[in-house]
Structure 1
Amino acid sequence: MDSQLTCKFALFCTYICVFFCICTSTDTITSTLFISDAKNDTLLSPNGVFKLGFFSPPLSINRYLGIWFNKVHVQNVVWVANRDSPLKSSDGVFKITGEKNIVILPGENQTQQPVWSSNVTEVSVTSGVHAKLLDSGNLVLNSGSGRVIWQSFDHPTDTILPGMKLGVDKRTGLKRVITSWKSLNDPGTGDFTLALDASTVLPQMYGRLYSYPVWRGGPWNGQIMIGLPTASRIKPVEFSVEAALFNYTFVNNKDEVYITFGPDPKVFRRLKVEEAGYAEQQLWNADSKEWNIIWTAPQDRCDKYKRCGAYSLCNNTNSVQCMCLPGYEAEKYQEWDMNCVEKRKKLHSSCGKGQGEGFIKIKGLKVPDVNNARFIKNISLQECELECFKNCNCTGYASADVSVGGRGCFAWYGELIDVRTNAADGQDLYIRVDAQELEENIRKRHGMQKKIKLIIIFLVLSVVALLIIYWWRKRVSKKAQERKKRYLEMILEDSAIDPSNEVSQASSLADKNNLELTFFQLDTILKATDNFSPATKLGQGGFGPVYKGELSNGQEIAVKRLSRNSHQGLSEFKNEALLIAKLQHRNLVRLLGCCIENEEKMLVYEFMPNLSLDCFLFDETRKSLLNWKKRHDIIVGIARGILYLHQDSRLKIIHRDLKTSNILLDKDLNPKISDFGTARLFGGNQSQANTCTVVGTFGYMSPEYILHGLFSDRSDVFSFGVLLLEIISGKKNCGVVPDFDPPSNLISYVWARWTAGKAIDIVDTSIGDACPAHEVLRCIQVGLLCVQDNSPDRPTMSAVVFMLSNDVNLPLPKQPVFAMYRSHNNPDTIIYDTNSSSINELTVTNPVGR
């Protein structure tokens, strides 16, 4: 029993140890601890930033030992050990041998030859050698005393990480160069390299393809390495990072020359060379899970080495990309090459003879390749010019140190190659020219200065002119505002009329502060109406004449001109301006604005090409154009417009003068209610009002309004009922129906036909028999409901719209006992008849579900 327990306990301990070994990662290998590909072993840097292990590229079965970002979800390899010696199977081992080297073996058999080795030859290494992966991505091989005897940063592949050096160790001759992969699936040494060339007078960065330069970074100028990215040249990124993404350092001393950029714990970044032949500075975006490219070399066409040939300047912003430097001209020109030669064969024939030779300065350039330049230390720019003058082969010079207080210069002897504009971080280049070229340049410069002066004068005058225009327009606008304020005060001022009338009450209820009304200039109206030409006159009303006009933008308008001796017209003008300035409905005519100038007062409306409804309805020729469908649409449109006035608009408005002549028709014969001069505005819960002055048109006014001056929204319902019956019958309500005995008005005639069961007989004969009888009869019944004598018996406009649009059972109308018609013998006399008796005093109402 005890032996069984002991075995189980031992087995449990074994499981625990195995689990601990599997779940625990290390950052170090020793002579006894190694990495096996078969066991999927890896090294993990102390904070988990980088991982080392065996991997296979996409679409490849070969195995390599590499280092990649551990916290980036995509495996981005930054260093490969055996890039040119792949393993063919997954049994490789990465370990430290007895010779104090880290090696990759194709299996755990010590007798096999390594496929890769660190090749440390130092014999003074003591025991205790170990290799460790750091959070910088550097794999270091340390001696027992902790001294670094080898590191992966000294042997980069295709990527430079923060802290890596790109350059040359002058003591050992070690060259730190990054080289592209052969392809996406093969990390072997490719064809594109990026290196710091220390063989020139000042080190320069070069990108080479097959050993041929394709890009040049330019020399160090004391502050930056020309051509490398700075904060001003880096592309903006979509997420928040530090501005100086490429905060690099350049070191050039007796021991080594290199460039490096510092680490930033907030972001992952790398400088990588691609197999396609370019280098990229990349930044990891943790939000989008992708690498953002913030800088590329070459950046553009002018960044390509020797893009425009010798003695030429490449400008990527010009339509003509290549141009010769001062003193040179194109011998031949092609898009990819420009062969510039001296303008005059003996450019330096006067060299040293004081014949007027000089230098022309070009600003903002990436200076030429310094391979054929001489670096002169500790002299000023003026001294450099004198040095260049001494040698007839000197073609130009530039400062070699633009840092504060810096001294030194470059002097070129021979061709000036790979010159381009570099506005962000460019330098000044001084080109040697002969006297004639110098004189031409001075003349051009003076001419340019003169042009600049003229441009400045023009700009100053333009600014002054703009200020004057601004001041004038502001003054005109101020005057217009003052004029508008004055006009509004004139509209709202009630002293000219009885303070108890409609305008005073409308003025008290209207929103004066937000009254939106456009004021037209008198000149505009005169031009639009051809000075109120008789040919433009549309008609005449109580308000005054109405004219057709056309504004400068082609819009047609109708202008109601107030007669100067019309007191009623003044009241209507003010009332209409107050009430309908803000009304917007498809069945209301739109008030565009008004004109108040000198003695003129005018209202400007949208123009209705088909004039008013009575022009069609009571004209024997044109009434045939109104078939039943069109008449029904007009009836419903008028009803919806009245409903808007009574219920749906911001203000409750009683029109008080609904009649056929106040129903205008647009080009499609759609009805629009007009003429709000006698309208009244109701406030709050007000439902009825009375007036001492009865205004309106006989035949359309309700009995309570004519007899007692009482009006409400049901007064408009009565007028609508009359309108409806007129539209159906084609007869005027005020006219005497001659074939009716006794002669009476339209309402009485329709009622008689209705009670006799012959209501269909009232339909206008021009319609014919094409109209649906049930729809016509429903409209007639709605009209009779609207013209009932007792105002509470009349339906509301919302009920009218519902009844006209739906086939429902309708209440029976009561007999209208108030009759009004013109005398047959004297048409100017209005006869009121209230003695008619009801034929049937019993009414039946069918309840209708709403």
Structure 2
Amino acid sequence: MATIWPLLLLLSVIFTAEAQQAEQPVIRRGSLLIPTGTNSSWLSRSGLYAFGFYEQGNGYAVGIFIAGIRNKTVVWTANRDNPPVPGDVKLHFTSNGRLVLQTAQGMETGIAGNTQGAAAASMLDSGNFVLYNSDNSTIWQSFDKPTDTFLPGQKLTTDEDMFSSYSATNQSTGIFRLIMQQDGYLAMYPVGTPPRLEYGYGGVGVSGEGPNVSLNFDADGRLYLLNGTGISIMNITKGDTTKGVIYRLTLDPDGILRHYSHNMDQNGVWNVTWSNPKDKCDPKGLCGINAFCDQDAGCECLPGFKRVNKDSWASGCERNFDSKCCKSNEAVTGYTMETELRTEWQNDSYSILTSPLTQEECGEACLGDCNCEAALYKDGKCMKQRLPLKFVRRNLSDSSVALIKVGTSPISPDPGVPKESKKKNRVDILIIGVSLLSFACIILVVSGIVVYKYRVWLYRNISNAL
């Protein structure tokens, strides 16, 4: 009897999928969408989800969004890192079964990968956009290619991942990654870092479960982990039988994984029902390089730095003074050491002074070292470091003190030589250069005349001799 249940479950899933497909509006070859007007998207049967154009930046993007609520919410984006498209493009389901963006100049960009030969498509009420072949089998679906959002009915299996968006209004790839690891943990990392413990900042899992663990999401909002044999090993969120509630799981631009609910009957807003991690400063790299995260104040630049991009912290901060050239064994002036209490960062020190030092001695050691641009002082140790400083954050439970080398005033490129003197030197050099060029031209002309006269004299002497 136990062996019959998996077969019955499989048949149930197949019949349910076929029933859903039969109920959904079918999109046929030759169908067309444009960014403006009423023909800008294909709706699911209930009108809750839509596939098509939505506004982004100074143009449009193609994706899936929840259309049946007051605040339209994007849950999937095609070619998310491509720039926005203008209003004169068309989304065409071609006669050969491809889904492409066509520009006014005739250029085409595929939307569903390189898939072709699709006979029909549907925007399902689950939020899944599906392409079918002539046998009504699924050949591509958006649920297999999540961007920053996970919907009920989706499954994230081993080595599959999602990436946060750049911002709330820009759906291009952001700076955080969620992955279902081979060790069975659902983990988060900054983009561009290897999946190692030192870079991870959150996640859930059960020790010892190993590979083939999957993240699952039910229609009632229950989020849970299954092991390789299909046994539930962790409930992340509980299910809710309240009717008229929809759910989503999103890796937000700030690196926090949030489970949201929205009550359709109350025409409400998205409510956070679960999040991980709880500390908003845990996501490493949230504030970019040379900046730190503070629980109360948010992101701030370190002393002596300014924001690179006022619209986004992801670009971090840069020095607000000109750094002075330094030679070894030469005293450096024009700098001071400024402190940030209870501050830590990624330990990438090139030199560690281990003998018990005071904070002042650590600062002096950095000031006297041309290579030292910052130092982390803790428990009598002084850790010297170069820029950039990564994953900086305030940690109230840590005794570390950040010491930052800061210029006391703007430094001229060549200290000790007044600007007026530099200008005079440049004028003198210009005059000398012009004079030398003129003298060379005169010499060249005189040489030409002498050579010419010599040849004339030589010709006459030869003629007379003959």
TM-score when scaled to structure 2? Answer: 0.47
Instruction: Return the structure number with greater relative CO, CA threshold 8 A, min gap 6.
Output: 2
Higher Cα Rg, which structure? 1
